[in-house]
Amino acid sequence: MVDLILASSSLIRREMLENAGLRVDCRPARLDEAAIRESLLAEGAEPRDVADTLAEFKARRVAEKANPGELVLGCDQVLALKGEIFGKAKDQAEAAEHLKQLQGKTHHLMSAAVLYEDNKPVWRHVGVVRMTMHALSDKQINDYLDAAWPDVSYCVGAYQVERLGARLFSRIEGDWFSVLGLPLLDVLSHLRLRGMLGA
């Protein structure tokens, strides 16, 4: 018996939920995220709405095959700088270009979570974190990527703040779990209201 179905293959999201005492089953949603993101941006969607919509699409896709009463959690994270959304870099050179645009500035990470039950959304939240990066020279960026690649190749912004990426930042304002990709405290608070959690 599981408490939650996670519509993702993200190990770090699974670990966060399991470390909080939840029994989790991972069932990745098969979506063309890039196509959905491009469609939303073409319609003028705000970064927060892009994250929320992608999280809902994932939850909905997995919920279609879930059993009655099962809770499905869909998540997505979007990085935005002055309204521009950054995707995952296709290679180290593009990662360097992303970091050159982010260095010395404050950007936002938006971590969306949507819960589905009986094939309909029952709860949603978007955690927003302000991330201020040090001013970095091209050499510092390249040295960092030489050390961190390929571990950061699947991360938006090409950084893992829980690892080497911490050295890139002067200030982080917001929920640490949202930085990692899941507004965990808000998810747990909702589950507590549902009577699913004890002390």
Give the domain CATH number at 93: 3.90.950.10
Q: Is the pLDDT of residue 199 over 80?
A: no
Considering the domain boundaries, does residue 58 fall inside one?
A: yes
Considering the domain boundaries, does residue 198 fall inside one?
A: no
pLDDT value of residue 177? 97
Considering the domain boundaries, does residue 80 fall inside one?
A: yes
Considering the domain boundaries, does residue 51 fall inside one?
A: yes
Considering the domain boundaries, does residue 199 fall inside one?
A: no
62-104 confidence digits (pLDDT tens): 999 999 999 999 999 999 999 899 988 999 999 999 999 999 9
pLDDT class for 34, splitting at 50, 70, 90? confident
Distance CA 8, CA 77 (A): 12
pTM for this structure? 0.93
The total domain count for the chain is 1
Q: Active-site residue numbers? A: 76
Which residue segment(s) compose the domain that 141 sits in?
4-193
Considering the domain boundaries, does residue 90 fall inside one?
A: yes
pLDDT value of residue 197? 84
121-149 confidence digits (pLDDT tens): 999 999 999 999 999 999 999 999 999 99
Give the number of residues written for the chain.
Answer: 199
What mean pLDDT is predicted for residues 16-27?
Answer: 97
Closest among 139, 181, 176, 183 to 157, alpha carbons compared: 181
Considering the domain boundaries, does residue 55 fall inside one?
A: yes
Considering the domain boundaries, does residue 137 fall inside one?
A: yes
Strand partners, 76: 112
pLDDT value of residue 111? 97
